[in-house]
Structures are given as C-alpha cells and as structure tokens.
A = this chain, B = another copy of it.
Amino acid sequence: MTVRPAGHKALLAAASAQFAERGYHAVSIREIAAAAGVSLSALYHYYPSKQALLAALLHEGMDDYQARCAEALAEAGHDPARRLAAVVGATVRYRAERSEASLMLMNEARALEDEERERYRARQREASDRFRQPIDAGVAAGIFTTPYPDDVRRSIIASCNAVAQWYRPDGPDSLDDLVEHNIFLAYTLLGYERRTPTSKVRQLSRARADDY
C-alpha cells in the first residue's frame, strides 16, 4: 500500500516523537535522522527542509483528526446533542490514542513560518467551529440552556484537548469511560436535560499522570 520507501514512515514517526516531546526548535534534523535510522541526506531526499517536515506532520495529523470527526458526525445525524457528543468523542479519542500527534498539533504550530502557519490556523478554526456549530444550534433550539455558551464551548474544547497531556493507556479508566464522562460533563455544562451518567457506580479513581 505504501508507495513511499521504508525510511519515510520512520522519519515521520521519529520527527513526531521528538517534536512532541521537546519542541521543534529543540530538535535538530540530525537527531531526527539518527532516531529514524536514516542518513541526513535521505531526510533531505524526502523533505526539502525541516519546516516542510513539520508542515507535513501537522497537516497529516490534522487530516487524521478531521477524518475522525467527519466519520463521527456522519453517524450522528442532525440532533445537536448527538453531534456535539460525536465531536467530543472523536476529539477525546484522538487526543488519547494519538497523544503525541495531538501535542504537536497543539503546541508546534507557532514554529511554522508565516504562510503555512496561517493555513494551519484556519484549519484550527474549522476544528473549533465543529464544536461551536452544534452548541449554537442546540442553544438556538432551546435544548442547551446554559447562560454562557461561549465559555462553555471553550471549557469543553479545553477539557478535550487536555486529554493529550494527562491520559495514559494504563490509567484506571478505559478510553470508552473517558469518552462517556467527557460527553456527560459537556452536557452538564450545556444544561442539556436528557443527559445521564452512563455508569451508575460513582467513580473515585485517581489519575496517574499529572493533569495540571
């Protein structure tokens, strides 16, 4: 399936890991090439510059996240509550399953040079709008009763995004539980009446990783 040579994937993986952990400017292309097990010249064979490598990673990550959202929304139908739940679920899953890519998407955009950064910022606004639309629709329809829909939207987005920073697969809650809880919290913030906690048992588990 992969038309690209073998080194290509290793390069993306190595760069993603390093950029996510230490930041674009802290990582040299020699380190990336070495971590990927390819020569410096091979790196430049695949990507014309360090910038291009970053841009490719960010857009690839965005593509993946966007596709997951589109799929979830397609299944959700027209109900604003179900649509918002779809976005929250897709986002939480992406932040948890692809935390490395998520950290890059959230933190490294500033390392893009001017033109590419603007293109990327536009895609981030699209992502923000995927939350905004069902919320505004639900508020307009009267099914979301929060007096502060903007603050609620920001809170929901921030909560989903934060998953990338603290979630560990070996934590106490399953990923499915995490998704459910976040949807429940979002409904709570929105003042959505039909919401119920999925699990009846009170969860008192403690997270492993630092969540601040």
A interface list, Cβ under 8 A from B: 21-26, 107, 110-111, 121, 124-125, 127-128, 131, 147-155, 157-159, 161-162, 166, 178, 181-182, 184-185, 188-189, 191, 197, 199, 201-207, 210-212
Contact = CB atoms under 8 A, between A and B. Distances in A.
B154 A162 contact: yes
Nearest to A203: B148
A79 B177 CA distance: 31
Contacts of A162: 154-155, 157-158
Contacts of A23: 23-25, 110-111
A68 to B, nearest CB: 16
Nearest to A212: B128
A209 to B, nearest CB: 10
Give the 9 A-B residue pairs with the shortest CB-CB distance, closest first.
Answer: A128-B212, A25-B25, A158-B162, A155-B159, A158-B158, A25-B26, A151-B181, A154-B211, A147-B197
Copies in the complex: 4
Nearest to A124: B212
Contacts of A185: 148, 151-152, 155, 189
Contacts of A158: 155, 158-159, 161-162
18 contacts: A22-B110, A25-B25, A121-B210, A127-B212, A128-B212, A147-B184, A147-B199, A147-B201, A148-B181, A148-B197, A149-B203, A151-B159, A154-B159, A155-B155, A155-B159, A157-B162, A159-B159, A185-B189
A170 to B, nearest CB: 16
Contact of A150 (B25, B155, B205): B205
Nearest to A151: B181
A6 B191 CA distance: 53
A124 B210 contact: yes
A210 B125 contact: yes
Contact of A157 (B110, B188, B211): B211
A73 to B, nearest CB: 17
